[in-house]
C-alpha cells in the first residue's frame, strides 16, 4: 500500500488517543448515525469526523456534511450523522467501516483500519488531495464540545478542511451540502430566500388568492424547544398570508428540548404538547422534532383536555399526493399521456397506517414499501420522476428528478406563450413545489410551508384534511430483550424470518383481530424490539400488540 507518510500516521494516532473508546462500548451506525448519552459520544464523534473526511477524499474533494444531533431523543443524548455529497445519508456501503472505526479499541487498531480501508477503496492519503466537511449542530448542551471533537477527527486526515456552518436544522445542512456540490448558492440566507420565495410564488398561483379567513391564516407551531422554532422565528416576517405563533420556540427558559413536546411526542403519545390547551381549540397546530426534520399537524379537540386529532406523515403525504396529481392531471390528462408523461411513485414503510395505504391504492397509485429509515425510502423515491416518501412519524419529502425538472422548465417556457392557461399554471406550481420542498432530506420548515400552500390552494380547513380517511387504531410497544439483533426480518420488515416460529405466532394473533396487522423489528436507534399493531378498535390494537410483545419477550428473553 502507498505509504501515507509519518505525518498522517501521527495525526490519526494523536486523534484516536485524545478520545479513547471505553471498554465494552459498542457503537453502531444505526438508522440515523451514532447516538448515545452526549457525555459518552466523543470517541464516536471523533471517528465519524475521520470517516467524513475520508468520504470527501474518496469523492474527489466534494463537500460532505457532519451534523451533531440526537433529533427527538432527550436533551442529554447526542449523536452524529454523516451527510453524503449528494445531500442524502452517507452511503450504506460505508457503515460497516464506520462501525469498525468507532469501536476500534486502540489508536493503533484505528490506524490499521484506516490504512486498510484506504487501500481497499483506492483512497490516497497523505495530504496530496483536498477534502472538506461542513459541520452543524443542534441546540443540545453537549453540541459545541462535540462539534470541536468532530473537527479534531476531520483534521486527523491531513489536508482536510472543516467548515463550521453553525447551529442549524439537520435539513438545512443536507441542503447546503447538496447545493454546494451542485455549484448552487448554499448559504443559510440562500436557503431562507429559496423557501420563502417559492412559498410566495405558490401562494400567488392559488386559484383564488382572496378571502382566506383569519382562522385559516393562523398556525401555532410547537418547536420542540429546539432549533426549528428559532429558525422559523427568523423567517416568519417574510411569510405572506400566514400568521404563525411559535411555542416551545427554543428560546432560553421556555422549556426543555423534546420534553413532553415535539413531533415524536405528539405522534407517539397522541396528546397535546406542553404549552397547548383549550384556548387553542379550532386552530391549526404543527409540531417539529428537535432537529426539525420531522413534521406532524394536530388539532386540540374540545372533548378532552389532552387528546389531539393527529395528522401524521401519512396524511401529509396523502395531501401532497393529491396536490401533485391534480397538477399532473391538468398537464397530462387522466391517462398521463399528455405534455409531461410522469412516473410518479409513492414510498411508505410498514409503520404507515393501513388506511393511508388503502386511500393511496384507491387513487390508483402503486405504493412501494421499504425498510424503516430515511436512507431506504429516499433511495427508492429517487427511482421516479417525482418520488414522494414519508414515514408515519413525519419525516419525508418529495423528490423531483433533475431530468424531469429540465423537462418541466422547457414545458413551462413553451406554455408561457399561453400564459395564465391552466396547464401553464399547473406547471409553474410543480416548479415552485420542487423549489420549496427540500430535495436532500425531509424538512419540517419547508414541508410545513408546502402544507400551508396546498391547504390554501384547495381552500381546505384542517378538518377537510383530517377527513381524507380515518386512521385505523394502532399501538406501538417497545420490548427490552437480551439481544434484539436475533430478530431478522424480510419483506420490508413486515415478516420475521428468525427466530423460527415467531412469525407463525404473530400470524395466529393477527387472525384473531378484525383488520389486524402486526409486525416486529429491532430498532435501529434504541436497544429495543418495536412491536406495531393495527386493528379495527383501540382495544383490539392494544391487545394484539400486547400479545405479540409477550411472545417476543418469551422467545428472546426479557431483560
Ligand atoms: C418507529 C419509528 O418511528 N422509528 C424511527 C426510529 O427508528 P428505529 O429504527 O425504529 O429506532 O428513528 C429513525 C431515525 O429518526 C426513524 O427514521 C424511524 O422512523
Ligand atoms: Mg429528527
Residue 393 assigned ligand-binding role = yes
Q: Could you identify the atom of ligand 1 that is nearest to the CA of residue 349?
A: 19
Q: Could you identify the atom of ligand 1 that is nearest to the CA of residue 30?
A: 9
Per-residue pLDDT at 23? 83
Kind of pairing between the strands at 218-222 and 284-288 = parallel
Kind of pairing between the strands at 295-300 and 308-311 = antiparallel
Please give the C-alpha separations between residue 209 and each of 193, 202, 213, in angstroms, as whole numbers. Answer: 22, 10, 11
Q: Could you identify the atom of ligand 1 that is nearest to the CA of residue 268?
A: 3
Kind of pairing between the strands at 63-68 and 131-137 = parallel
- Residues counted in the chain: 559
Q: Could you identify the atom of ligand 1 that is nearest to the CA of residue 522?
A: 9
Task: Return d(Cα 475, Cα 534) in angstroms, integer.
Answer: 6
Contact residues for 357 (Cβ-Cβ < 8 A; gap 6+): 348, 367
Best residue for ligand 1 mutational test, from 28, 32, 36, 224 (most atoms within 8 Å of Cβ): 32
Which residue is closest in CA terms to ligand 1's atom 18?
373
Identify the nearest ligand to the CA of 289 by its number: 2
| Domains located in the chain, CATH noted | 6-167 (3.40.120.10), 194-311 (3.40.120.10), 314-392+396-441 (3.40.120), 474-556 (3.30.310.50)
Which residue is closest in CA terms to ligand 1's atom 9?
524
For residue 416, give the nearest of 404, 402, 428 by alpha carbon: 428
Residue 484 assigned ligand-binding role = no
Residues at Cβ < 5 Å from ligand 2 ion: 71, 289, 291, 293
Per-residue pLDDT at 209? 55
Residue 71 assigned ligand-binding role = yes
For residue 559, give the nearest of 479, 480, 486 by alpha carbon: 480
ipTM of the complex model: 0.98
Task: Return d(Cα 203, Cα 218) in angstroms, integer.
Answer: 15
pTM above 0.90, yes or no: yes
Between the CA of 444 and the centroid of ligand 2 the distance, in Å, is: 9
Query: What does the block give as the cell for 445?
Result: 420548515
446 catalytic residue (yes or no): no
The DSSP letter of residue 335 is T
Residue 391 assigned ligand-binding role = yes
Between the CA of 293 and the centroid of ligand 2 the distance, in Å, is: 5
For residue 551, give the nearest of 511, 514, 501, 516 by alpha carbon: 501
For residue 509, give the nearest of 479, 558, 546, 483 by alpha carbon: 546
Q: pLDDT tens, position by position, for the chain (559 residues)?
A: 557 889 999 999 999 999 999 887 789 987 789 999 999 999 999 999 999 999 999 999 999 999 999 999 999 999 999 999 999 999 999 999 999 999 999 999 999 999 999 999 999 998 678 899 999 999 999 999 999 999 999 999 999 999 999 999 999 999 999 999 999 999 999 999 999 999 999 999 998 755 555 558 899 999 999 999 999 999 999 998 899 999 999 998 889 999 999 999 999 888 999 999 999 999 999 999 999 999 999 999 876 778 899 999 999 999 999 999 999 999 998 777 789 999 999 999 999 999 999 999 999 998 999 999 999 999 999 999 999 999 999 999 999 999 999 999 999 999 999 888 999 999 999 999 999 999 999 999 999 999 999 999 999 999 999 999 999 999 999 999 999 999 999 999 999 999 999 999 999 999 999 999 999 999 988 889 999 999 999 999 999 999 999 999 999 987 6
Identify the nearest ligand to the CA of 444 by its number: 2
Best residue for ligand 1 mutational test, from 69, 525, 528 (most atoms within 8 Å of Cβ): 525
Between the CA of 374 and the centroid of ligand 1 the distance, in Å, is: 9
Contact residues for 245 (Cβ-Cβ < 8 A; gap 6+): 218, 219, 220, 221
Q: Starting at the edge strand that comes first in sequence, how are the strands of the sheet with 160-167 ordered?
A: 34-37, 77-83, 63-68, 131-137, 160-167
Cβ atoms of 96 and 104 within 8 Å: the answer is: no
Amino acid at each position: 500500500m502507498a505509504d501515507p507518510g509519518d505525518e498522517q500516521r501521527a495525526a490519526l494516532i494523536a486523534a484516536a488517543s485524545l478520545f479513547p473508546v471505553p471498554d465494552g462500548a459498542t457503537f453502531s451506525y444505526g438508522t440515523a448515525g451514532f447516538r448515545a448519552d452526549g457525555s459518552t459520544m466523543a470517541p464516536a464523534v471523533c471517528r465519524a469526523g475521520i470517516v467524513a473526511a475520508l468520504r470527501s477524499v474518496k469523492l474527489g474533494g466534494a463537500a460532505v456534511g457532519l451534523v451533531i444531533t440526537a433529533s427527538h431523543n432527550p436533551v442529554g443524548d447526542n449523536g452524529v450523522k454523516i451527510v453524503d455529497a449528494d445531500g442524502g445519508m452517507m452511503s450504506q456501503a460505508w457503515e460497516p467501516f464506520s462501525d469498525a472505526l468507532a469501536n476500534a479499541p486502540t489508536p493503533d487498531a484505528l490506524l490499521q483500519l484506516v490504512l486498510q480501508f484506504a487501500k481497499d477503496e483506492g483512497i490516497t492519503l497523505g495530504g496530496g488531495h483536498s477534502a472538506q466537511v461542513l459541520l452543524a449542530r443542534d441546540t443540545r448542551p453537549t453540541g459545541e464540545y462535540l462539534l470541536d471533537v468532530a473537527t479534531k477527527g476531520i483534521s486527523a486526515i491531513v489536508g482536510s478542511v472543516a467548515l463550521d456552518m453553525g447551529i442549524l436544522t439537520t435539513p438545512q445542512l443536507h441542503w447546503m451540502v447538496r447545493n454546494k456540490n451542485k455549484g448552487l448558492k448554499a448559504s443559510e440566507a440562500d436557503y431562507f430566500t429559496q423557501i420563502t420565495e417559492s412559498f410566495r410564488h405558490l401562494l400567488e398561483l392559488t386559484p383564488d388568492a382572496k378571502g382566506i379567513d383569519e382562522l385559516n391564516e393562523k398556525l401555532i407551531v410547537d418547536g420542540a424547544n429546539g432549533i426549528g422554532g428559532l429558525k422559523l422565528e427568523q423567517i416568519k416576517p417574510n411569510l405572506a398570508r400566514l400568521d404563525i405563533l411559535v411555542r416551545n420556540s427554543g428560546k432560553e427558559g421556555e422549556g426543555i428540548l423534546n420534553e413532553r413536546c415535539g413531533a415524536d411526542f405528539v405522534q407517539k403519545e397522541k396528546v397535546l404538547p406542553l404549552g397547548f390547551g383549550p384556548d387553542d381549540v379550532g386552530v391549526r397546530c404543527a409540531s417539529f422534532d428537535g432537529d426539525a426534520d420531522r413534521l406532524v399537524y394536530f388539532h386540540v379537540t374540545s372533548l378532552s383536555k389532552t387528546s389531539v386529532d393527529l395528522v401524521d406523515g401519512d396524511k401529509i403525504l396523502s395531501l401532497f399526493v393529491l396536490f401533485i396529481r391534480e397538477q399532473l392531471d391538468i398537464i397530462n390528462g387522466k391517462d398521463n399521456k399528455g405534455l409531461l408523461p410522469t412516473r410518479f411513485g409513492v414510498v411508505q414503510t410498514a409503520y404507515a397506517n393501513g388506511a393511508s395505504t388503502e386511500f393511496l391504492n384507491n387513487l390508483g397509485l402503486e405504493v412501494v414499501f421499504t425498510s424503516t429509515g430515511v436512507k431506504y425510502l429516499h433511495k427508492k423515491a429517487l427511482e421516479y420522476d417525482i418520488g414522494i416518501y414519508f414515514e408515519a412519524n413525519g419525516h419525508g419529502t418529495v423528490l423531483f428528478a433533475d431530468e424531469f425538472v429540465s423537462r418541466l422548465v422547457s414545458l413551462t417556457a413553451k406554455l408561457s406563450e399561453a400564459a395564465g392557461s391552466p396547464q401553464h399554471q399547473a406547471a409553474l406550481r410543480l416548479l415552485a413545489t420542487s423549489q420549496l420542498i427540500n430535495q436532500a432530506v425531509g424538512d419540517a420548515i419547508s414541508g410545513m410551508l408546502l402544507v400551508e400552500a396546498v391547504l390554501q390552494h384547495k381552500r381546505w380547513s384542517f378538518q377537510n384534511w383530517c377527513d381524507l380517511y380515518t386512521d385505523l387504531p394502532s399501538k406501538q410497544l417497545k420490548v427490552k430483550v437480551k439481544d434484539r439483533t436475533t430478530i431478522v426480518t424480510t419483506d420490508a420488515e413486515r415478516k420475521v424470518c428468525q427466530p423460527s416460529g415467531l412469525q407463525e405466532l404473530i400470524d395466529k394473533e393477527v387472525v384473531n383481530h378484525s383488520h389486524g396487522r402486526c409486525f416486529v423489528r429491532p430498532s435501529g436507534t434504541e436497544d429495543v424490539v418495536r412491536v406495531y399493531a393495527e386493528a379495527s378498535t383501540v382495544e383490539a390494537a392494544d391487545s394484539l400488540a400486547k400479545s405479540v410483545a409477550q411472545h417476543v419477550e418469551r422467545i428472546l428473553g426479557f431483560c
